[in-house]
């Protein structure tokens, strides 16, 4: 039974705080185990990766079989349904077109003192993608991670995907080829993150690691951060739907269930000022749930983490949304643009009745790798910028150094850093001497 809340009730604030405080992440403490795995990969390289793959994925590898061979990629593409390949092509084209608009511009200017200032953007040399799951993995996630890296201009792009008992999804391999991944390695878990972070004789080290995974993968990304960049630590997925009387309760229900069927820790929330719509949407969830193949998963998610919240008006809905800071926010209202203008914190916003969040998972164009667990308050979804870095540029002229140098010398003296001040003063002395 999901939580039913009403902002008019005296106990609403406490109930809403409890909803926000829910711990939906994996509770297992895997940090020590992951640290041991990473240390083994760092110290023993390929040998450790092979041993751990045999242990966890029941797959015997050699350095020569860790990477998927070109002939295997050919066979995987040939095994895919042509209609699935066409859908991948559509998704890839739209994702690429969207992310090409994100490429940042370099800048250079001369200020009033004559100093030249600016910045330039350059891609990282290499990126590594983690693709979860073997046969249960998601080709859409590979496209969402790989294409922004390629648009950014990353020189080398590799992917790691577990292959339990040797099984890999042909459609994931087809997506890797379509996205321009240079090599796919059949390794998973924390050992794959370690291999990409430290490098082995077979797996080259990368500068940025991105992609979702289980608790072991998340912990490994957290532990290697600093040696390599990461995209984010993603938690269970979530959707918030804000709806008014113009919304279809069946559509609301299906959108809530589309999130709930991800896993039992996913969260689906409906906020509406319309009590009748709240009741109708909740009833529709029960009706549609009975027919879902993943009913057990979606039902557990909806019962443990789902919520229906009745508010006084859409302004109050917007305020609650910002406190939730949802990963996905659907605005199923008569004027979604007006409501969106009130929202500050959301990973992605889906505007209007005809824009289900599921379209964003596949072919909308914007990235579906988004901040979870209220982290949209301070972070953004995956983008081209995650694979680039900004270098600032400065060039002083004699006139600009004369103008701003004394301030630098004063601050250096205030901080007790004599050589700092002297490095500026030496140049000013020469200027004053006419040098």
Which of 195, 230, 265 finishes a domain? 230
What is the structure's pLDDT at 386?
97
Q: Is-catalytic flag, 327? A: yes
State how far Cα 410 lies from the chain centre: 44
Q: Are 413 and 350 found together in one domain?
A: no
Q: Which of 230, 245, 265 is the last residue of a domain?
A: 230
Residues 158, 36 share a domain: yes
Q: Which of 327, 330, 353, 357 is catalytic?
A: 327
Same domain, 79 and 206: yes
Q: Does any domain span residue 9?
A: yes
CA dist 360 and 349 (Å) reads: 10
Q: If DSSP codes are grouped into helix, strand and coil, which group holds residue 417? A: coil
pLDDT given at position 214: 87
Q: Which residues of the chain have pLDDT under 70?
A: 25-28, 134-136, 435
In angstroms, rounded to a whole number, what is the distance separating the alpha carbons of residues 262 and 126?
30
pLDDT for 383: 98
Confidence (pLDDT) at 137:
72
Residues 168 and 64 in one domain: yes
Q: Do 141 and 90 belong to one domain?
A: yes
CATH number at residue 250: 3.40.50.1980
Question: 133 and 101, same structural domain?
Answer: yes
In this structure, the answer to whether residues 206 and 239 fall within a common structural domain is no
The H-assigned helical ranges of 45-138 are: 46-57, 70-79, 82-100
Task: Say if 299 falls within a structural domain.
Answer: yes
In the prediction, which pLDDT does 29 show?
83
User: Residue 189: left (phi > 0), alpha (psi -120 to 50), or beta?
Assistant: left
Sequence-distant (≥ 6) Cβ neighbours of residue 377 within 8 angstroms: 325, 345
Residue 194's φ and ψ, nearest 5 degrees, are: -60, -40
Flag whether 369 is in a domain.
no
Residues 39 and 170 in one domain: yes
191, 212, 230 — which closes off a domain?
A: 230
Task: Tell me the sheet residues that pair with 395.
Answer: 116
What pLDDT, on a 0 to 100 scale, did the predictor assign at position 312?
98
- Of 262, 310, 261, 265, which is closest to residue 288 (Cα–Cα)? 261
43 Cβ contact list (under 8 Å, min separation 6): none
Q: At what angle do helices 215-224 and 31-44 cross, to 10 degrees?
A: 60
Q: Exactly one of 99, 262, 305, 328 is catalytic; which is it?
A: 328
Specify burial of residue 109 (Cβ count, 10 A radius: 0-12, 13-18, 19+). Answer: exposed
Q: Are residues 48 and 177 in the same domain?
A: yes
| CB-CB neighbours of 18 under 10 Å | 12
pTM for the predicted model, two decimal places: 0.94
Q: Count how many domains the chain has.
A: 3
Please indicate, yes or no, if residue 381 is contained in any of the structural domains: no
* Assigned token pair, 105: 């511009």
Tell me if 113 is assigned to some domain: no
What's residue 25's pLDDT? 67
Coil, strand or helix at 62 = coil
Owning domain of residue 299: 3-25+235-364
Query: Is the domain of 151 the same as that of 263?
Result: no
242, 338: one domain: yes
What's 228's DSSP letter? B
Residues 350 and 268 placed together within one structural domain of the fold = yes
């Amino acid at each position: 039974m999901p939580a039913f809340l009403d902002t008019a009730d005296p106990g609403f604030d406490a109930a809403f705080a409890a909803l926000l405080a829910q711990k939906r992440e994996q509770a297992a403490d895997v940090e020590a185990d992951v640290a041991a795995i990473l240390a083994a990969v760092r110290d023993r390289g390929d040998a450790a990766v092979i041993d751990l793959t045999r242990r966890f994925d029941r797959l015997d590898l050699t350095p020569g079989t860790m990477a998927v061979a070109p002939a295997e990629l050919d066979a995987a593409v040939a095994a895919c349904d042509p209609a699935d390949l066409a859908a991948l092509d559509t998704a890839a084209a739209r994702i690429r077109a969207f992310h090409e608009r994100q490429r940042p511009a370099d800048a250079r200017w001369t200020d009033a003192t004559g100093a030249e200032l600016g910045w330039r953007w350059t891609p990282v040399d290499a990126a590594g993608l983690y693709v979860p799951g073997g046969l249960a993995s998601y080709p859409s996630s590979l496209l969402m991670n790989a294409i922004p890296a390629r648009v950014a201009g990353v020189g080398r792009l590799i992917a790691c995907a577990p292959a339990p008992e040797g099984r890999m999804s042909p459609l994931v391999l087809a997506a890797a080829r379509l996205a321009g991944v240079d090599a796919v390695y059949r390794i998973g878990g924390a050992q794959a993150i370690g291999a990409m972070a430290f490098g082995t004789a077979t797996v080259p080290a990368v500068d940025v690691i991105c992609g979702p995974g289980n608790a072991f993968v998340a912990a490994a990304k957290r532990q290697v951060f600093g040696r390599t960049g990461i995209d984010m630590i993603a938690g269970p997925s979530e959707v918030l739907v804000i709806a008014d009387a113009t919304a279809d309760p069946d559509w609301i229900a299906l959108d809530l269930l589309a999130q709930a069927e991800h896993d039992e820790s996913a969260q689906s929330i409906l906020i509406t000022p319309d009590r009748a719509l709240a009741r109708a949407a909740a009833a529709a969830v029960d009706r549609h749930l009975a027919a879902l193949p993943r009913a057990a998963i979606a039902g557990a998610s909806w019962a443990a983490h789902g919520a229906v919240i009745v508010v006084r008006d859409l302004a109050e809905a917007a305020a609650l949304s910002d406190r939730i800071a949802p990963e996905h926010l659907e605005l199923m209202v008569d004027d979604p643009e007006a409501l969106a203008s009130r929202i500050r914190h959301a990973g992605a916003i889906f505007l209007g009745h005809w824009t289900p969040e599921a379209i964003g998972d596949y072919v909308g164009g914007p990235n579906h790798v988004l901040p979870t667990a209220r982290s949209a308050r301070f972070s953004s979804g995956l983008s081209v910028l995650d694979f680039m870095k900004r270098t600032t540029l400065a060039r002083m002229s004699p006139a600009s150094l004369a103008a701003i140098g004394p301030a630098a010398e004063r601050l250096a003296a205030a901080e007790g850093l004599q050589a700092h001040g002297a490095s500026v003063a030496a140049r000013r002395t020469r200027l004053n001497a006419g040098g």
